Structure 1
């Protein structure tokens, strides 16, 4: 909510006040260096002479100018408004460089005026790092831009139901609730392939044996992912035998079920475990891995960037 006071410059008299709702949405979904921003304004309340209507103008700076270009604002010049008036429009911006790395910084100033009285309200990156746009060519060799403050969510597709159940059970039973938004902390991308291979080698070491009841070819499926900094191997685990252990089995009706071995004894998976591994079907294990890889490119995740994992626990 923006609040502006209009003061008569000659006398210092308060001419009126206005409260305005402002909604903004920056869209960096394109895979190139262009991105837009939808801007919406609504006059919620006014006092004094502003009840008769007034003008509003919005200006934005995208810095550094050597790296950021932008078109005209959502409307040109001062625009007349009154109580409950709505104004909206779009900024078009682009990253001038096609290689390297830049952090673009957005700042805004809204000015309200009536006769010779003016009042302004400013916001942007100087107050909140959420008004930063990161542009680079460090993901999949394509140039693009993202909002680094935004944490995306990897939704495990229902077609990989066994892996979805597995991740959901790990998130619910492990005290750290890895990657579960609202319960735990997000996962963070491990971009070093050598480190990721080492993570997998430790969690899926020689102590892992695919359960013969898991449809062949069964695979070792670890969570948190080997390509995350939350992998058990990066939390001090020296062997996957200390992880929670799961398996996919075929029941007497021929259906595939995810099983925790201690369930028949009324035991729950150890909450203090730092990792989990499962004897998983190839299609589910590789399917989720492929989904993570595709989203890593789409979201332009760099090393250490955060993301949530949604396995249906919040539904």
Structure 2
């Protein structure tokens, strides 16, 4: 993200040989840079990026023996999924949501609501009562542990006819390298009357070698019947709607995320000033909208990132004297540590963000290299401390959000 050129005396030589403008002692007067391009304020926070994930298919109806030669036939009900067709990615996943069946998730948590309906059928095949169970699964993931927890609540939300109570037990599992270390939220079968609930905790864990990445999905088998009738096999089953990814490839600890929830790198204007303004200006002024309209993708390789930085912040970047930009450095965007970085510097827009009368003004850095607004990258003239500070923040963000190689992410300017 940075390249500091210390030998200011080189600038005059470059100018003499190539004709490229070089800053002079008149820099403090304001005429050493080019025209004013824009004035920047803090952008409003963008909403979470929506995502569509596969929807659960309806399970076949299953019947289990019930007293007096009747059958209790159970069907999971994904009708609300089919009606909406989407599962929401939210900034704040919560199970305090309306609607009988839905799924919401964020980077480190999810809420899945589903419903199971049982019909009591007599020996002539005539329905004589129903019971509807509402199932809520709330999963909390950790950035620093590959063990995670689920809170499960089952409520008998409605009964009709000769069904007055329903007995339910539940067993959870997970796919791939994941293990349900506590698979049942409660012991045995819970007998519920209308309006009553049963709640408990399910625990999962993954053991991951250093560098390993694993995708898993939760699965559920329920034993549901009327009292005094015990099903011989699970008669309702459903899966978690989207994958959980656990890895031991970022930082010092393993952890898990919902990879479909794109993380957002928030860059503070108060902390990182000209660096933050440089990134935001590129988003609103250049055609690709990196980090806004188009996500950036993390490049994990330090050697490739160094090559990207050298390509963008090459010898054509000429620093300003301290009178204009204190300890000037080249801050590139898209970042060198992205697959979108590395465009040769001669093809970038060169700008100098200056805080003037309480507003950030974006100037063309070199009047001999006009900014066209069609460039694929930007090079900001940024104080080295702000450049390095924003780079350190990017590294912390990568670990905190478990951003792996090729993972997409957004960038947002905040106060």
TM-score, with normalisation over the residues of structure 2? Answer: 0.61
Instruction: State whether residues 17 and 50 of structure 1, in contact with CA within 8 Å, keep that contact through their aligned partners in structure 2.
Output: no
**Deviation at 1:283?**
2.2
Which whole-Å CA distance do the structure 2 matches of 1:84 and 1:175 have between them?
A: 56
2:145 aligns with 32
- Corresponding position: 1:108 with 2:229: no
2:391 aligns with 289
> What SS is found at the alignment partner of 1:285?
helix
1:242 aligns with 347
- Corresponding position: 1:224 with 2:326: no
- Indicate how the Cα distance of structure 1 residues 260 and 21 shifts in structure 2: closer, same or farther if over 3 A, else same: farther
**Deviation at 1:111?**
4.3
1:16 aligns with 130
**Deviation at 1:227?**
0.5
Which whole-Å CA distance do the structure 1 matches of 2:162 and 2:403 have between them?
A: 47
Aligned pairs (5 A) from 1:60-139: 60-64=172-176, 68-99=179-210, 101=212, 102-115=214-227, 116=229, 120-124=235-239, 128=241, 130-136=242-248, 138-139=249-250
CA offset digits 1:194-237 (Å, max 9, x no partner): 22112111221222122335432111111111101122x3xxx4
> What SS is found at the alignment partner of 1:259?
strand
> What SS is found at the alignment partner of 1:139?
coil
Instruction: State whether residues 165 and 258 of structure 1, in contact with CA within 8 Å, keep that contact through their aligned partners in structure 2.
Output: no
> What SS is found at the alignment partner of 2:300?
coil
2:164 aligns with 52
Question: Which consecutive residues of structure 2, in runs of 5 or more, have no partner in the other structure?
Answer: 1-100, 102-113
> What SS is found at the alignment partner of 2:145?
coil
**Deviation at 1:59?**
1.9
CA offset digits 1:41-77 (Å, max 9, x no partner): 555x52524873423333211234x653522433333
Which whole-Å CA distance do the structure 1 matches of 2:263 and 2:253 have between them?
A: 19
> What SS is found at the alignment partner of 1:311?
strand
Which whole-Å CA distance do the structure 1 matches of 2:328 and 2:152 have between them?
A: 51
Which whole-Å CA distance do the structure 1 matches of 2:186 and 2:285 have between them?
A: 52
1:176 aligns with 288
**Deviation at 1:279?**
0.3
- Count of matched residue pairs: 292
1 or 2 for the larger relative contact order (CA 8 Å, sep ≥6)? Answer: 2
Alignment RMSD: 3.3
- Indicate how the Cα distance of structure 1 residues 98 and 220 shifts in structure 2: closer, same or farther if over 3 A, else same: same
Instruction: State whether residues 214 and 247 of structure 1, in contact with CA within 8 Å, keep that contact through their aligned partners in structure 2.
Output: no
Instruction: State whether residues 59 and 110 of structure 1, in contact with CA within 8 Å, keep that contact through their aligned partners in structure 2.
Output: yes
> What SS is found at the alignment partner of 2:271?
helix
- Corresponding position: 1:278 with 2:393: no
Which whole-Å CA distance do the structure 2 matches of 1:17 and 1:171 have between them?
A: 54
- Indicate how the Cα distance of structure 1 residues 49 and 203 shifts in structure 2: closer, same or farther if over 3 A, else same: farther
2:360 aligns with 257
2:294 aligns with 185
**Deviation at 1:190?**
0.4
Instruction: State whether residues 117 and 133 of structure 2, in contact with CA within 8 Å, keep that contact through their aligned partners in structure 1.
Output: no
**Deviation at 1:258?**
4.2
Which shows bigger deviation, 195-204 or 141-150? 141-150
Instruction: State whether residues 124 and 131 of structure 1, in contact with CA within 8 Å, keep that contact through their aligned partners in structure 2.
Output: no
Which whole-Å CA distance do the structure 2 matches of 1:50 and 1:40 have between them?
A: 24
Which whole-Å CA distance do the structure 2 matches of 1:258 and 1:160 have between them?
A: 15
**Deviation at 1:23?**
4.3
TM-score, with normalisation over the residues of structure 1? Answer: 0.77
- Indicate how the Cα distance of structure 1 residues 246 and 117 shifts in structure 2: closer, same or farther if over 3 A, else same: farther
**Deviation at 1:300?**
2.7
Which whole-Å CA distance do the structure 1 matches of 2:346 and 2:117 have between them?
A: 65
**Deviation at 1:24?**
2.0
**Deviation at 1:246?**
2.0
State the structure with more CA Rg: 2
